[in-house]
């Protein structure tokens, strides 16, 4: 199967999550992956996008966030690019999920979930932009859960 490519350009507003959701919902029609994997991909995109919008922009200006999804029957690559201040999620410490909720520090749990659902993640800062590339295998035994 040839790689499918989807590009999304959204503004730094949380209501753009709906645009992202619509693209992910359309993908199963053309890309071969399970309902569970689609939910995981949606969760990854929602968490990363929300982090960029909520924590990445300190000004009141409009910014554009570029998301590219490439997939075939076996894998998906997610590339996100924004012009916010440098932030490398691959260097984020995982929260201590063993301690009681009342004792946990705020933050970091979303990135922890994203890392759980992906196979690899790379980050680079280039030309004033954060560029994250995530890779996720799609083929496995959960295909029968559709």
pLDDT tens per residue across span 4-48 = 888 999 999 999 999 999 988 887 655 656 788 888 888 999 999
The number of beta carbons lying within 10 Å of the beta carbon of residue 83 is 17
pLDDT top residue among 66 and 27: 66
Interatomic CA distance for residues 145 and 134, integer angstroms: 24
Of 30, 31, 29, the closest CA to residue 73 belongs to 31
CATH 3.40.50.10190 fits 4-145, yes or no: no
The number of beta carbons lying within 10 Å of the beta carbon of residue 73 is 14
Q: Which of these ranges, 28-32, 65-69, 103-107, has the smallest mean pLDDT?
A: 103-107
Over range 108-123, report the average pLDDT.
79
**pLDDT confidence tier of residue 55, bands split at 50, 70 and 90:** confident
pTM over 0.85: no
Ranges of each domain in the chain: 4-145
Res 111: pLDDT? 74
The number of beta carbons lying within 10 Å of the beta carbon of residue 43 is 16
Res 137: pLDDT? 87
């Amino acid at each position: 199967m040839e790689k499918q490519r989807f590009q999304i350009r959204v503004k730094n507003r949380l209501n753009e999550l709906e645009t992202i959701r619509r693209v992910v919902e359309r993908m199963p029609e053309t890309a071969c992956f399970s309902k569970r994997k689609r939910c995981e991909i949606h969760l990854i995109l929602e968490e990363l996008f929300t982090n960029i919008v909520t924590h990445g922009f300190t000004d009141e200006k409009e910014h554009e966030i570029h998301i590219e999804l490439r997939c075939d029957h076996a894998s998906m690559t997610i590339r996100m690019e924004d012009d916010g201040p440098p932030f490398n999620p691959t260097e984020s410490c995982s929260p201590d999920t063993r301690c009681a909720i009342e004792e946990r520090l705020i933050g970091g749990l979303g990135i922890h979930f994203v890392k759980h659902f992906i196979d690899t993640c790379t980050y680079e800062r280039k030309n004033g932009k954060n560029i994250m590339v995530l890779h996720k295998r799609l083929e496995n035994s959960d295909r029968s859960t559709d």
